[in-house]
Structures are given as structure tokens and as C-alpha cells.
């Protein structure tokens, strides 16, 4: 498939989704280890998303001017209220959080996270100056039934319904085929690249030419060994990394693989 015509080349972004791993004290150690390795890395944005309870520890360890930004793994759309067990945007901001993963397939699968909820959360997130990372992706059954394009398109349309177009610089989309998450089965660069190009075209259709600047991350068994080939695809702008982001060395190697070869492009 011909790549989309990008008007803007987005700056690459690598995000570590720690999922339900690492206590606060483990978080200090891993964060320190990552910071040491990436301190001098330039031309790329880097984010770690520890569990809620580890955000204060990560925030403290990163310090005020860190090259690594902090992200959360979910949030509630409301500012406050009777929502037991939930966390709001302003609560995240207090700990220096700048990004928030929304609609991860594990939440769609196990926590009844619908695209409608994701849309409300994404709108709320930008209202609190949090960059939403909106996740989409098909299951194996859907891929085998040749439904990938329809599923991904419908998830994007409904998860971004009502998203303010003047805020699209803040938006990140992540394509994570469910069958590739935590399974070691990575989509081939071609399989991933094809879907990314379709997503790019759709974003341009929805938001106009500025849609070409929205970062589209690939996620699903990204490892140092496969990162470079995936990142070479023209519409893959970075990675959303699960398991390998819990290993500072592997996370660093993936970041290196995602850095642009022509450094001046993203200064
Ligand atoms: P893995 O990298 O462990 O497959 O997880 C991907 C993911 O779900 C990131 O959000």
C-alpha cells in the first residue's frame, strides 16, 4: 500500500507501559536505571507509564527537567465525584503526569472500556493538559475474518468522536493488534505499516492535513530485535512498549532504534 502523504513529520515517541508491575520502591530503581541510560538521548520523546501508586515515586525520581515524561495508564473523564476506585485528570497533573493511555485493549477486554468512554476521557484529558494515547486494535478472530480495517476504523471514529480539532497536536494514537500483545507474536513491519497508513489516511480525513502530524505508535511485542524494522515503516512514529519497557537496557535499545536517522528532522 502506498504510504500516506505526510505534510508534517512527527517527532518520534516511545512509551513504556508498565501495566500492573512495580511497587513504588521498584519504580525508583527502574526509573533511575532508565534515566541513566537515556540522559543524553535527543530528537525523540520518551514516556514511562507506571501504575498509579508509583507515579509519585517516578515523579520524584525523574525530577523537574527530566528528558523522560510521565504517563498514566487510565483516568476517569470527570473532574471529581462519587466514582469509587477512579482517578481524575487533576489528580494525575499533581504528580507531573503529561500523557495518559486510554482504551488499552486490556481495559476494553477486562474492564468494559467502550470507545464512547474513551472519547469522553480523551476530551477530558486535553482539557487538563494531558496528552491522550488512544489505543485501538483488532483481535485474532477479527483479523482472520478480514475485519481489521473495519474494526480499527470504527474504534478510531468512535474513540475520537467530539475530539477538539484545535487540540490534535496533543493527540497520540496507538495501534496494538490484540493478538500481538504479550504473546511474542509481533505483527510484521508490513502488516503493521499497512494498518498505520490506513489510520493516517483516516486521521487526515477526520482532521484535515494536520492529521498527518498525529503520532501513531505501534504496540505488541516490540523488542530491541524487531524495533528498527517496525520503525522504518513510514507511518509508524514510535512504539508503545509493554514487557520490554520493564528492562532498562531493552527499553533504551528500542528508543535508539526509533530515533530518526536524520537528526535535524526533529530538532
Ligand atoms: P507487550 O509489549 O508486552 O506485548 O505489550 C504491548 C502493550 O500492550 C503496550 O501497551
Asked whether residue 81 is domain-assigned, the answer is no
User: What CATH number corresponds to the domain at position 111?
Assistant: 3.20.20.70
Asked whether residue 62 is domain-assigned, the answer is yes
Q: What is the pLDDT, as a whole number, of residue 59?
A: 97
- Separation of CA 81 and ligand 1 centre (Å): 31
Distance CA 109, CA 92 (A): 24
Number of structural domains found in the chain: 1
Q: Strand pairing of 45-49 and 13-17?
A: parallel
Write the CA distances from 239 to 195, 235, 266, integer angstroms.
14, 12, 17
Q: Which one of 99, 181, 217, 218 would you pick to mutate in the ligand 1 pocket, going by the greatest count of ligand atoms within 8 A of its CB?
A: 181
Asked whether residue 49 is domain-assigned, the answer is yes
User: Which of 176, 194, 196, 233 is the catalytic position?
Assistant: 176
Mean pLDDT computed over every residue of the chain: 94
Range of the domain at 116: 9-75+87-258
Q: How many C-beta neighbours within 10 Å does residue 77 have?
A: 19
- Report pLDDT digits (tens) over 62-89: 998 899 999 999 999 999 999 999 999 9
Least confident of 99-108, 134-143, 189-198, 256-265: 256-265
Q: What is the pTM of this model?
A: 0.95
Q: How many C-beta neighbours within 10 Å does residue 4 have?
A: 20
- Return the residue whose CA atom lies nearest to atom 5 of ligand 1: 242
Q: How many C-beta neighbours within 10 Å does residue 106 have?
A: 19
Active site residue 138: no
- Separation of CA 221 and ligand 1 centre (Å): 6
Asked whether residue 45 is domain-assigned, the answer is yes
For residue 186, name the pLDDT band (cuts at 50, 70, 90): confident
Asked whether residue 230 is domain-assigned, the answer is yes
* Pocket around ligand 1 at a 6 A CB cut-off: 17, 104, 176, 181-182, 219-222, 240-244
More confident residue, 196 or 7: 196
Asked whether residue 53 is domain-assigned, the answer is yes
Distance CA 230, CA 222 (A): 9
Asked whether residue 2 is domain-assigned, the answer is no
Active site residue 65: no
Amino acid at each position: 500500500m502506498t504510504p500516506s502523504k505526510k505534510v508534517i513529520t512527527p517527532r518520534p515517541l516511545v512509551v513504556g507501559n508498565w501495566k500492573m508491575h512495580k511497587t513504588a520502591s521498584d519504580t525508583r530503581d527502574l526509573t533511575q536505571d532508565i534515566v541513566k541510560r537515556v540522559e543524553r538521548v535527543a530528537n525523540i520523546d520518551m514516556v514511562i507509564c507506571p501504575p498509579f501508586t508509583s507515579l509519585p515515586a517516578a515523579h520524584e525520581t525523574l525530577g523537574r527537567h527530566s528528558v523522560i515524561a510521565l504517563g498514566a495508564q487510565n483516568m476517569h473523564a470527570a473532574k471529581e465525584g462519587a466514582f469509587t476506585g477512579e482517578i481524575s485528570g487533576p489528580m494525575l497533573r499533581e504528580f507531573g503526569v503529561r500523557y495518559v493511555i486510554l482504551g488499552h485493549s486490556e481495559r476494553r477486554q477486562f474492564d468494559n472500556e467502550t470507545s464512547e468512554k474513551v472519547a469522553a476521557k480523551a476530551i477530558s484529558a486535553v482539557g487538563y493538559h494531558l496528552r491522550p494515547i488512544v489505543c485501538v486494535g483488532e483481535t485474532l478472530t477479527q483479523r482472520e475474518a478480514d475485519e481489521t480495517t473495519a474494526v480499527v476504523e470504527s474504534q478510531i471514529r468512535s474513540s475520537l468522536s467530539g475530539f477538539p480539532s484545535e487540540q490534535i497536536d496533543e493527540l497520540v494514537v496507538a495501534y496494538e493488534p490484540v493478538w500481538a500483545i504479550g504473546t511474542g507474536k509481533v505483527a510484521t513491519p508490513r502488516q503493521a505499516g499497512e494498518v498505520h497508513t490506513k489510520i493516517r489516511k483516516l486521521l487526515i480525513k477526520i482532521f484535515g492535513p494536520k492529521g498527518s502530524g498525529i503520532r501513531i505508535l505501534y504496540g505488541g511485542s516490540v523488542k530491541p530485535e524487531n524495533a528498527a524494522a517496525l520503525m522504518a515503516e513510514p507511518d509508524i512514529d514510535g512504539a508503545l512498549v509493554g514487557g520490554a519497557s520493564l528492562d532498562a537496557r531493552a527499553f533504551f535499545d528500542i528508543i535508539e532504534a526509533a530515533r530518526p536517522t536524520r537528526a535535524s528532522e526533529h530538532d
